[in-house]
Amino acid sequence: MNKIKVKFIINGKEVSLLVKPTERLLDTLRDRLNLTGTKEGCGVGECGACTVMLDGQAVNSCLVLTAQVAGREVRTVEGLGKEDELDILQQAFIDHQAVQCGFCTPGMLMSARALLDDKSSPTREEIKTALDGNLCRCTGYQQIVEAVEAAAEAEGAD
């Protein structure tokens, strides 16, 4: 199978890769770029474990071909925060005990970050809607929603 050259921005850095036309972004992130925070749960866009941001929008990376991100910007959970400082959302998840097993956490964080980047003071209903595509079997979601509310409040105070 012929490979195609794809250039894109990942977490603020430009990369150029040769990929198969059928290669999923999820596989590129995990297998080629060693960004293993993005998880594969269902592989069909139902669970949200593989959620990343593509040009600021939350997307399921298992449903996006790497070729589709040419010239675009991808942000993964590894791109949140700084080297020595957590993103406000990451800290809020810790503070509100919104992490249990942790498998869904990267996808939840990326969906929440996309929401907060778009809307600084979301309502509880808007938060629930933004997280709707992310499944969690451990937390019952309450702590996650509270963490996003707290992060929104903290960002608004800055």
The CATH number that applies at residue 129 is 1.10.150.120
Q: In what order do the strands lie in the sheet with 57-60?
A: 13-19, 4-10, 73-75, 51-54, 57-60
Q: How many domains does the chain have?
A: 2
- Say whether pLDDT at 1 is over 80: no
Segment 54-72 mean pLDDT: 98
Note whether 63 and 128 are same-domain residues: no
Note whether 44 and 65 are same-domain residues: yes
- Say whether pLDDT at 116 is over 90: yes
Note whether 151 and 116 are same-domain residues: yes
List the beta bridge partners of residue 65: 24
Range of the domain at 121: 88-157
Structure-token pair, residue 36: 């293993």
Segment 104-130 mean pLDDT: 97
Choose the final residue of a domain: 19, 48, 79.
79
Q: What is d(CA 106, CA 19) in angstroms, rounded to the nearest whole number? A: 25
Note whether 63 and 97 are same-domain residues: no
Note whether 45 and 111 are same-domain residues: no
CATH code, domain with 16? 3.10.20.30
Are 89 and 66 in contact by the 8 Å Cβ rule? The answer is: no
Report the percentage of the chain scoring pLDDT > 70.
99
| Strand duo 51-54 + 13-19: pairing | unpaired
pTM over 0.85: yes
Note whether 74 and 96 are same-domain residues: no
pLDDT 10s digits, 128-157: 999 999 999 888 899 999 999 999 999 987
- Say whether pLDDT at 74 is over 90: yes
Note whether 11 and 74 are same-domain residues: yes
